[in-house]
Structure 1
């Protein structure tokens, strides 16, 4: 049995059906099973990582470890989960981290993942670390203003990025969770090309079938916009610090997805067409 944490999140929503399609039994963790939209083939269970004792680990052989990464609490949760998994006899932990750890960044989000990586490696079970770069799905919040204002607002200085599709992350995670040979491996995951924000906006406009303006805005305006969209202040602070430290690094392309999956990574144009639909 494979336990998937974060089953209702960006990666989890892609990973659960990918694992099921691969023939693996899946136990999907959520705080509220009644409201969760999870593939009905999975066993949906209630649990809260703030109370690791509520996480049903009995009968689980492998765990996909995913928390928000915003601040030190996520590292503490993953540390507690790794220890509980070891006590329960779990054989393999696959942790979702970030490429920032590869580059030695010290922003709060990256540090939380780095500390959790250390805990996963030292817990006892076999481990695999996945370090994706920026997600294409993070551009989903552009859609509203693109449709209503005909514009996308991007913080000044936002760097070019080799964005990765969550289905590619899920495909690599499925490989690590269902086939041997990935124990002790650390995989950096990106898309196949680095695109500037202006290029991304142009691609999104093509997918929407309309002209969309690319507008750079000062950081205070960007912060206000993110707050209005419901982002927690701590997440906004962490994101801007991560962006500052990842400048000049987000455009690095790793060949891991193609090497492991034997195909090209999914493109931003493919993602944009899906999101526009």
Structure 2
């Protein structure tokens, strides 16, 4: 039995069916099973990783755990350390953690530092471990949806770096592989797409996919911050994004061949993603 944390999130929603298709038993965690849309073949359980008393019940009878939390910085690291400890006590044999390439590059922003701390907790817990370190998700470009629908425009901070964006289905496919086959214990895998694209190139690809022209607008940081705050983001989240951007600027364009090497196929492209989700950018 494999426990999937974050089963309704960007990676988890693709990972659960991938594991089931591979013949694995899956226990999918969600805070509200009544609202969750999870593959009916999975065992769906309710729980909150912030409530440590829930953890023994969640890991009982589980062999492996996909570790992903919604917390950031120290809060996420504390949750993941608690999960690792509970899993070790329950006899779990393998932990697979979703982290970030920022740890590989030694970034010091709060988001990356939290993942680095959590990685160490996973390594120290006792069970075998595998660490997945993806770069920027293609799904992050859903943040452009509002301005595309209202203004036919994409607003980005000045100096936004080129990025080797990775499709969440590729991350899920690698996670499923590491959870259902041997030989990945003690490995740390950096995951990116197969090419680095400038933000302007991404906008052009998305424009072609949705079938209408889009303006590409670079904003000074103060204006970009105000726009994010207008989305309802807390100040700490906005600060974290800009800290991360500054730290990762020189690393985002680095391409790793891990997806192709492990899955024996090319990584999905941003054009694939844009065609898949084009309808999401229409009113």
> What TM-score do you get using the length of structure 2 for normalisation?
0.96
CA distance in 1, matches of 2:244, 2:257: 23
CA contact (8 A) 2:73 2:115 kept: no
Q: How does 1:52-201 map to 2 (within 5 A)?
A: 52-55=52-55, 56-68=58-70, 70-201=72-203
Structure 1 segments of 4 or more deviating over 6 A? none
CA contact (8 A) 1:63 1:90 kept: yes
**Matched positions, count:** 277
C-alpha spacing 1:232/1:8, structure 2 compared with 1 (3 Å): farther
CA contact (8 A) 1:69 1:109 kept: no
Cα drift, residue 229 of structure 1: 2.0
SS in 2 for 1:10: coil
Q: Could you list the per-position Cα deviations for residues 51-94 of structure 1 after superposition, in whole angstroms to 9, with x for gaps in the alignment?
A: 12213111100000001352210000101110010001100000
CA contact (8 A) 2:64 2:93 kept: yes
CA distance in 1, matches of 2:71, 2:259: 22
Q: Of residues 208, 212, 215 in structure 1, which corresponds to 2:214?
A: 212
Corresponding position of 2:231: 229
CA distance in 1, matches of 2:158, 2:254: 20
Cα drift, residue 227 of structure 1: 2.1
CA contact (8 A) 2:2 2:27 kept: yes
Q: Which moved more, 1:222-231 or 1:256-265?
A: 222-231
CA contact (8 A) 1:152 1:201 kept: yes
Tell me how large the CA RMSD over aligned residues is. 1.0
Corresponding position of 1:16: 16
CA distance in 1, matches of 2:243, 2:195: 24
Gaps of 5+ in 1: none
CA distance in 1, matches of 2:177, 2:167: 16
CA distance in 1, matches of 2:74, 2:157: 25
Corresponding position of 1:263: 265
Corresponding position of 2:40: 40
Corresponding position of 2:241: 239
CA distance in 2, matches of 1:81, 1:33: 20
CA contact (8 A) 2:71 2:79 kept: no
CA distance in 2, matches of 1:157, 1:22: 42
> What TM-score do you get using the length of structure 1 for normalisation?
0.98
SS in 2 for 1:33: coil
CA distance in 2, matches of 1:217, 1:195: 19
